[in-house]
Amino acid sequence: MMARSARGWALAFLAAFAIVPAAGPTRSLPEAMTPEDAFAQLTQMVGVWRPADKPESPLRIRFYLTAGGTVVVESWEVRGQPHSMTVYHRDGQTLLATHYCPQGNQPRLALAGGDVGGLHFAFRDATDLDPATESYQHDLWLDLTIPDRPVRGEVYFGKDGPGAQERFQLVRDSAG
């Protein structure tokens, strides 16, 4: 089977995870989400979350504001120890997500789409990345349709192309 091109794969990814409204009255969505609106959606995530289907999981994802409320930090912790971090901030007319990966690379993703139900960030560039030997975050999305049970998804790329789509539903951690 012939490998799918990165562009073709990205289009298939977006089509597979497009948010489709339920049957019933239609709602009008903004043509393009502003960085301010996207950032406001991210602030709804402030707090501590855990995987919904694994309450015993040691993983906790903490979202918090810093830098005078202009930056959202998504900090992954395992058994209370830092694992990775994604920092969201405005950059002119877009919203960026810089992922600080345990592998030591830092992919930057830019807001590629968003509406009242979620946000999608796509790879822009990276620092300290050797794509011949390292995988890196290429796509990141948050489905915020159900505010108390958001879904977070990501796709990593490596030397052989895209990896499996990882996604999981989150719930607030009552201990956090």
Fold of domain 35-172: Lipocalin (2.40.128)
**Distance, C-alpha 36 to centroid of its chain:** 17
Best CA proximity match to 36, nearest among 98, 119, 108: 119
138's tokens: 């290429």
Q: What is the pLDDT of residue 31?
A: 54
* Average pLDDT, rounded, for the chain: 83
pLDDT of residue 175: 75
Give 30's DSSP letter: -
- Taking the complete model, does pTM exceed 0.85, yes or no? no
Handedness of CA 142, 95, 74, 155 (dihedral sign): positive
- The pLDDT value recorded for residue 176 is 61
pLDDT tens-digit series, residues 114-133 = 877 889 999 999 999 998 89
Tokens of 57: 């999981």
Whole-number Å distance between alpha carbons of 149 and 29: 22
User: Strands 47-51 and 161-172: what pairing?
Assistant: antiparallel
CA distance from start to end of the chain? 47
Task: Give the C-alpha separation, 151 to 106, whole Å.
Answer: 23
Residues 6+ apart with CB under 8 A from 171: 49, 50, 51, 52, 148, 149
Say what the pLDDT of residue 53 is.
94
Low-confidence ranges of the chain (pLDDT < 70): 1-32, 176
Cα(163)–Cα(117) distance, integer angstroms: 25
